[in-house]
A = this chain, B = another copy of it.
Amino acid sequence: MKKSQLGRRTFIASSAGLVGAGAAATFASPAISQNRRKWRMVTTWPKNLPGLGTGAQHFADQVTRATGGRLTIELFASGEIVPAFESIDAVGAGNIEMGHGAPYYWKGKAPATQLVSNFPMGLTAQEYNAWYHFGGGRDLCDELYRSALGCKFLPCGNTGIQHPGWSRKEVNSLDDIKGLKMRMPGLGGEVMSRLGATVVNLPGSEVPGALASGAIDWAEWNNPYGEASMGFYRYAKYYYTPGWHEPGTVLELFVNAEKWDSLEDELKAIVENCAYATNQVMLAEFQARSGPVLDSFVNDHGTIVKELSDDIMREIGKVSGEAMQDLANSDPMAMKIFKSMIEFRGHQIRYTNVAEGSFIKARALEYPFPS
């Protein structure tokens, strides 16, 4: 899709621009009073939503701070000036300078964005960063976002491994999946649908009620920290693992391409480094806070953590690969990105399994240790 197709309407006459340059030229003012800009960042999150909204705010604050206000980022929550799912249009058209969201929200405009988010049985957060910085990911993401969305892309957050969901029923075999009423959006839902589940789309606000009433048997959300306030443990006893469907979902900064190109290299460097730092800080928050929340689910609320069997996971792996191949076949840019990611993935499976995997398993054995 061409950039010109994206600007469906002009939301707001641009009020961003240069201020103070005239005054600064008349005397030897401090550096930071010259060439000040104010940029707006629209997000797809409610204001200060824990983890996602607060992470986007962290990014905005760090850029403002690191530029001494030469580039001030003002954050707008979803719906404040642009509806969440129109954010990319507003930024692509140049009416807003930047935005923060999740790549797969834009699948209707560019199917390949689903892969930029990561994919079922794909990469861990650590591997995704490795692919982005040292596996060709940066150039491919930039090519996609520039050509299809009129934007510069930067990774700016990661949820880490997401849990596949809360279930009212035990799932011990592939037969148990057939007819299971599951709330699981995106590519994960596509895989479960191919395995015979009845996949239901529900907005987040309706999910707890549907699980409580039995209208759905299974609800996917994100991770323990993100689920703490949803109360799913009240309605479903089983908390399933592994998070094969979203093994490290990337969150994005998207910047209008022309506005990005107009930035001095110094400001580009600040935005890039603040985005990469935020990428780490957001993942750190989900990691830090999910541990105690999961302990509380188990110890205080009687949640039973259950692992899907190897038989089920092998079939999920096979069907995930088929679904990804179909996605790649549907779109040339998706194919280009998919080829890069699966080649990279192929070289990471053994290493991550004997490095991260082997250590994590051994550490969880029973042995005395100070606490």
Q: Total interface residues on A, using CB and 8 Å? A: 108
Question: Does A357 lie within 8 Å of B364, measured CB to CB?
Answer: yes
In the complex, per-residue mask of A337-371: 1 if CB is within 8 Å of any chain B CB, else 0 = 01000111011111111111111111111111111
Chain B residues whose C-beta falls within 8 Å of the C-beta of A131 in the assembled complex: 288
Question: Does B359 lie within 8 Å of A242, measured CB to CB?
Answer: yes
CA distance A129 to B285 in the complex (A): 9
Q: Closest B residue to A290 by CB, please name it.
A: B351
Q: Closest B residue to A309 by CB, please name it.
A: B362
Question: Does B284 lie within 8 Å of A132, measured CB to CB?
Answer: yes
Asked whether A284 and B352 contact (CB < 8 A) given A242-B362, A273-B273, A362-B310, the answer is no
Other contacts beyond A127-B287, A314-B367: 20, CB < 8 A: A126-B126, A131-B288, A161-B359, A223-B355, A242-B354, A242-B359, A242-B361, A243-B359, A290-B351, A291-B347, A294-B351, A294-B354, A305-B350, A315-B367, A317-B362, A318-B369, A321-B367, A321-B370, A342-B369, A353-B363
6 A-B pairs within 8 Å (CB atoms) are namely A26-B28, A68-B265, A133-B280, A242-B359, A291-B350, A342-B371
A residues neighboring B (CB under 8 Å): 24-32, 34-35, 62, 65-68, 70, 121, 124-127, 129-135, 160-161, 163, 223-224, 241-244, 247, 264-266, 269-270, 272-274, 276-277, 279-281, 283-285, 287-292, 294-295, 298, 305, 307-308, 310, 313-315, 317-318, 320-321, 324-325, 328, 338, 342-344, 346-371
